[in-house]
Amino acid sequence: MLQVHEEGRAVVSSGSREKMEHDTSRLHAYGLWATYQQDA
């Protein structure tokens, strides 16, 4: 939370695309501004 506050973003989860879509949607349900992306 502090990292988000100071840097504007933080990685909170990683895994398969399906799991990331699920996690992102859980965060959206709580009004959090989450996105997922593939690591290079």
Partner 1 sequence: MRPFRRRGGDVVARLDPAEAHVLGLLLDQLDQLLAADPDDVDGDPVMARLLPAGHRSDPELAADYRELTEAALRSGKTDDLAAVRATLPVDGGQLRLDPEQAGSWLRTTNDLRLALGERIGVTEDTEPPEDPAGEEGQQLAVYYWLTALQGSLVDAVAAGRDARR
Under the binding rule (CB under 8 A), the answer on residue 30 touching partner 1 is: yes
Under the binding rule (CB under 8 A), the answer on residue 13 touching partner 1 is: no
Under the binding rule (CB under 8 A), the answer on residue 31 touching partner 1 is: yes
Shortest Å distance, C-beta 23 to partner 1: 10
Amino acid at residue number 16 = S
Candidate list 6, 16, 35, 39; residue touching partner 1; CB under 8 A? 35
**Residue 16: count of CB within 10 angstroms of its CB:** 8
Dist. CA 40–CA 32, nearest whole Å:
24
Tell me if 34 sits within 8 A of 24, measured CB to CB. yes
Residues that bind partner 1 (CB under 8 A): 21, 24-25, 28-31, 33-37
